[in-house]
Amino acid sequence: MMNNRKVSLVLLIFVSLLAGCSSTGGKNATKPLKMFRINLGLAMQDDFYQAIEMIVYGRYRYIDSGDSHSSPNNLELVTEWRPRFILDDEKELGIVVVWSRILLTAKLRPGQASFGGESTYRVTMRAESRVKYSEYESWQPGPLTTQARNYFRDIADDLLQELKKPY
């Protein structure tokens, strides 16, 4: 009986070690598909578009992809993929090329009707990256590293400042 317990304990430790080894990183490790998401609060339609124009297009130089859609209840902006500098923690993962894009949505608050930009919308920002670990490799969804999260957070903070400007 004591031998069975020892064998079981050894097997349990061995299986635990194997499970731990299979999840260690590396450039070819499977990374969870992560997208940066943040709620930017409430905005009027005109303020939403003005903030995009000033911050996303002006300051960060992203370009509208043409895939953007608008309806009275939902406003959506999708930028083109754009080359971005490689952050230190991305370099450590072996990434050699990074492109990013931003997706902004504004949904009409429940119980409101849209009247010429006077309605209030709930604004959400999403951002994602695609990466290459070699120049000749195909694109892969980029990991949301700490520094990538901070980069997208800076864009979100700038948008928040523009949306919350007192008039």
- pLDDT by residue (tens digit) across 39-59? 999 998 889 999 999 999 999
Three-point CA angle 71, 57, 51, nearest 5° = 60
- pLDDT by residue (tens digit) across 76-110? 999 999 999 999 999 999 999 999 999 999 999 87
Q: Is the pLDDT of residue 5 over 70?
A: no
Whether the Cβ atoms of residue 107 and residue 115 lie closer than 8 Å to each other: no
SS3 for 13? Answer: helix
What does the mean pLDDT of the chain come to? Answer: 82
Q: Which domains does the chain have, with CATH numbers?
A: 27-163 (3.30.310)
Q: Is the pLDDT of residue 25 over 90?
A: no
- pLDDT by residue (tens digit) across 94-152? 999 999 999 999 999 876 665 554 788 999 999 999 999 998 999 999 999 999 999 99
Q: What is the reported pTM?
A: 0.75
Based on the number of CB atoms within 10 Å of its own CB, is 83 exposed (0-12), middle (13-18) or buried (19 or more)?
exposed
Whether the Cβ atoms of residue 128 and residue 32 lie closer than 8 Å to each other: no
In the numeric block, the tokens 């299986």 are attached to 15
Tokens of 130: 């695609």
Say how far apart CA 99 and CA 101 lie, in whole Å: 7
Say how far apart CA 6 and CA 93 lie, in whole Å: 39
Tokens of 69: 């859609």
Say how far apart CA 40 and CA 92 lie, in whole Å: 31
